[in-house]
Chain A
Amino acid sequence: MSTDVTAAADAPEQPTTRAIATAAGGGKARRVKDRLTSPWATFAAILIATLWTIPTFGLLVSSFRTPEEIRSNGWWNIFVSPSFTLENYLDVLTVQGASSANLGSYFVNSLVIAIPAALFPIIIATMAAYAFAWIKFRGSGAIFVLIFALQIVPLQMALIPLLQIFSEVLGISGTFPAVWIAHTIFGLPLCIFLLHNFISEIPGEVIEAARVDGANHTQIFFRIVIPLSLPALASIGIFQFLWVWNDLLVALVFSGGTADVAPLTQRLAELVGNFGRNQERLPAAAFISLIVPLIVFFSLQRYFVRGLLAGSTKG
């Protein structure tokens, strides 16, 4: 199902077909009509965009207000009595101790979880995708369809037995490797499927030519497949990274929940569980976890949109 989605996602990046058609011979009447309907449509669009942005904007404003202000009145009062402090950020990031938010450690955990958990599935999936696309073997098609079908198995179906395997057989429950492996497994079906779509599009002549020159599969993989698939690897890698960064469920089950391993999302869920006591910390804490996705979103929007749309069926 994701092929079409990717195709649709690519469309807006081309200069809009409509603009070209209108310019080429679209007719004056249409342009006039557009100009007539435009103000109302623009007004409605701006209204919706404002409504959609206010909640996030409000939290951002709150995060820079003093704890007393956060507790005593709403963020909109900043327009009446402006104030600015970094106190909350310093508090949640640097203060150590049992009752402190201690987000510095959790931020490190999130990075240590998300970087390998994005790389592992991509690399293993690229290998499998290459095999399904370019190594002829019996049952290839059937196994590929089976892997595709695995996407519909909800994470929830795997959690209990996988945790038992990790804790009773491997003895790694509550460690970084447990979280990496879990994310790798859950990411594989979609990564294999998407990368297969891409790698099977590599022109057959290129692979044939390499084979005639005596290259074996390992050499073809490293010299041709990886370099040619880099854009796809980047898109899917970014998406997988953000998926892991934003995940709560896998972390809750496999990380053990201590400051040694648990990611930011898990700490945030704990803090928000005691909303009354952590009110002044939560806005700053939330933004510390949002900053990475927002940077990725605004700087790599092209890749992000592609990866996200292609991967939206995951989970």
Chain B
Amino acid sequence: MSAFWSDLVSKFGIMVLGLAVFAAVVGLILFLADRAPKRGRDYWQLAAFVGPSIVLLAVGLVYPAIRTTVLAFFSRQTANGSDFVGLDNFVWMFTQPEIVIVLVNTLIWVALVPTLSTIFGLAYAVFIDKSHGEKVLKSLVFMPMAISFVGAGIIWRFMYEYREVGFSEQIGLLNQILVWVGQDPQPFLVNSPWNTIFLINVMVWIQTGFAMVLLSAAIKGVPVEIIEAARLDGANAWQSFWNVTVPGIRGTLVVVITTISIATLKVFDIVRAMTGGNFDTSVVANEMYTQAFNRGETGYGSALAVVLFFMVLPIVVYNVRVMRKQKEIR
């Protein structure tokens, strides 16, 4: 126990030291800017304010992104350096059956997660819009958004847990339900391709709350008068929802779908925590890590990172375009 306390003191010591060094550096920069010589003081002050950000981003993000792109065209790094291999890493990706599965899985994820999360989130937002205890109901569905993907992975590992028949009682709720209705329990996370669907379910569980909160706010922004006018014209609940509410929240729908799509493309932790990418469940973000850091295949890993970038790019461009258009309308 005393080992724990000395460990704790030394770690918090490091933290306090780190904070102090940081404060000293930032303080010194701003102090020098404050006392800069009169000539060109504006430039010194400008440099002091934007300098730290620009240096960090240039060294930590811009240069690495360029270097990763370059590495994607080289073989793995060894003691003797690496060789230029042209497009070999990309050819490898599309010819290796297990990597093709990875790419297909990623497409399945990005097709299903945004769609399902948005449908559930929208339906839920509509339901609670008319019910009591809206705040509590909102919190319950939104809560998964606060916890880590690893935590969510563990929660669902227990839901999916499988015990062979006759070996012991089921401890996973889903298999117990199967047993209760007279079915055989299933190893949910092992049987491909359905195991990918069960992983996707976890992401939908998390993202539905996000979709719900945004869409709920948007629904409240649709003018009541228009809905009422539609009702007076004889539209039923479904018609007024489909023809009045949905067009009214179109902008938010786009934001929700694109945001969830981007988050889905980058999903890593859920796959790591639940299957480790085994049983044909890997996705690009996970495979990139496996190749680059578990196997030392920097070329393959970089190529996968580049592919990820090009999957995210069109979604972001589309999103920005819609945003621009909306701003013009306003």
- Write the residues of chain A forming the contact surface with B, with a CB cutoff of 8 angstroms: 1, 4-5, 8-9, 11-12, 16-18, 21-22, 26-27, 30, 33-34, 37-38, 41-42, 44-46, 48-49, 52-56, 58-59, 62, 70-76, 94, 96, 104-105, 108-109, 111-112, 115-116, 119-120, 123-125, 127-128, 130-132, 135, 137, 143, 147, 150-162, 165, 176-177, 180-182, 184-186, 188-189, 192, 216-219, 221-222, 242, 245-249, 252-253, 265, 268-269, 272-273, 275, 279, 282-283, 285-286, 289-290, 293-294, 296-298, 301, 304-305, 308-309, 312-313, 315
Give A132 to B67 CA distance when docked, in angstroms: 28
- The one of A12, A151, A272 in contact with B154, judged by C-beta atoms closer than 8 angstroms, is A272
- Write the residues of chain B forming the contact surface with A, with a CB cutoff of 8 angstroms: 1, 3-4, 7-8, 11-12, 14-15, 18-19, 22, 26, 30-31, 33-34, 41-42, 45-46, 48-50, 52-54, 56-57, 59-65, 67-69, 71, 120, 123-124, 126-132, 137, 139-151, 153-159, 168-173, 176, 205, 208-210, 213-214, 216-218, 220-221, 224-225, 228, 231, 237, 251-252, 255, 259, 262-263, 265-266, 268-269, 272-274, 276, 285, 288-289, 292-293, 298, 301-302, 304-306, 308-309, 312-313, 316, 319-320, 323, 326
- The one of A8, A158, A162, A219 in contact with B214, judged by C-beta atoms closer than 8 angstroms, is A8
Which residues of chain A come closer than 8 Å to B274, judged between CB atoms? 272
Report the minimum CB–CB distance from B82 to chain A (whole Å). Answer: 12
Going nearest first, the 6 A-B pairs with the smallest beta carbon separation are: A185-B60, A246-B148, A42-B131, A131-B49, A161-B64, A297-B146
What are 23 pairs between A and B in contact, CB < 8 Å? A4-B255, A8-B214, A8-B255, A48-B123, A52-B208, A55-B158, A75-B171, A75-B173, A108-B8, A108-B11, A116-B15, A124-B56, A127-B30, A137-B46, A154-B285, A157-B308, A161-B64, A176-B15, A218-B34, A242-B146, A246-B150, A248-B149, A289-B148
- The one of A5, A108, A217, A289 in contact with B49, judged by C-beta atoms closer than 8 angstroms, is A217
Report the minimum CB–CB distance from A201 to chain B (whole Å). Answer: 16
Is A286 within 8 A of B151, CB to CB?
yes
Is A184 within 8 A of B56, CB to CB?
yes
- In the complex formed, the residue of A with least CB distance to B210 is A312
- The one of A9, A108, A218, A265 in contact with B213, judged by C-beta atoms closer than 8 angstroms, is A9
Which residues of chain B come closer than 8 Å to A127, judged between CB atoms? 26, 30, 48-50, 52-53
Is A48 within 8 A of B141, CB to CB?
yes
Is A160 within 8 A of B147, CB to CB?
no
Residue from A4, A76, A125, A147 with most neighbouring chain B CB atoms (10 Å): A4
Give A76 to B56 CA distance when docked, in angstroms: 51
Which residues of chain B come closer than 8 Å to A217, judged between CB atoms? 33, 45, 49
- The one of A18, A176, A245, A269 in contact with B14, judged by C-beta atoms closer than 8 angstroms, is A176
**A49 and B140 contact, Cβ closer than 8 Å, known pairs A130-B49, A268-B150:** yes
Is A248 within 8 A of B302, CB to CB?
no
Which residues of chain A come closer than 8 Å to B67, judged between CB atoms? 160-161
Name A's interface SS.
Answer: helix
Is B57 within 8 A of A112, CB to CB?
no
**A135 and B292 contact, Cβ closer than 8 Å, known pairs A108-B11, A293-B146:** no
Report the minimum CB–CB distance from A8 to chain B (whole Å). Answer: 4
Is B143 within 8 A of A294, CB to CB?
yes
Which residues of chain B come closer than 8 Å to A72, judged between CB atoms? 168-169, 171
- In the complex formed, the residue of A with least CB distance to B145 is A308
Is A189 within 8 A of B130, CB to CB?
no
A-B contacts counted at CB < 8 A amount to 376
Report the minimum CB–CB distance from B84 to chain A (whole Å). Answer: 17
Report the minimum CB–CB distance from A142 to chain B (whole Å). Answer: 12
- In the complex formed, the residue of B with least CB distance to A71 is B171
Is A286 within 8 A of B155, CB to CB?
yes
**A38 and B252 contact, Cβ closer than 8 Å, known pairs A70-B171, A155-B266, A158-B64:** no
**A128 and B50 contact, Cβ closer than 8 Å, known pairs A135-B42, A152-B313, A160-B68:** yes
Is A1 within 8 A of B320, CB to CB?
yes
Give A189 to B265 CA distance when docked, in angstroms: 19
Which residues of chain B come closer than 8 Å to A12, judged between CB atoms? 213, 216-217, 220
- The one of A55, A116, A137, A242 in contact with B205, judged by C-beta atoms closer than 8 angstroms, is A55
Is B46 within 8 A of A265, CB to CB?
no
Is A59 within 8 A of B154, CB to CB?
yes
Is A44 within 8 A of B127, CB to CB?
yes
Is A4 within 8 A of B326, CB to CB?
yes
Give A290 to B137 CA distance when docked, in angstroms: 20
Give A252 to B285 CA distance when docked, in angstroms: 13
- In the complex formed, the residue of A with least CB distance to B159 is A55
- In the complex formed, the residue of B with least CB distance to A315 is B266
Which residues of chain A come closer than 8 Å to B46, judged between CB atoms? 131, 135, 137
Is A313 within 8 A of B262, CB to CB?
yes
Is B11 within 8 A of A109, CB to CB?
yes
Which residues of chain B come closer than 8 Å to A94, judged between CB atoms? 1, 4
Which residues of chain A come closer than 8 Å to B143, judged between CB atoms? 52-53, 56, 294, 297
Which residues of chain A come closer than 8 Å to B127, judged between CB atoms? 41-42, 44-45, 48
Which residues of chain A come closer than 8 Å to B210, judged between CB atoms? 308-309, 312
Is B155 within 8 A of A189, CB to CB?
no
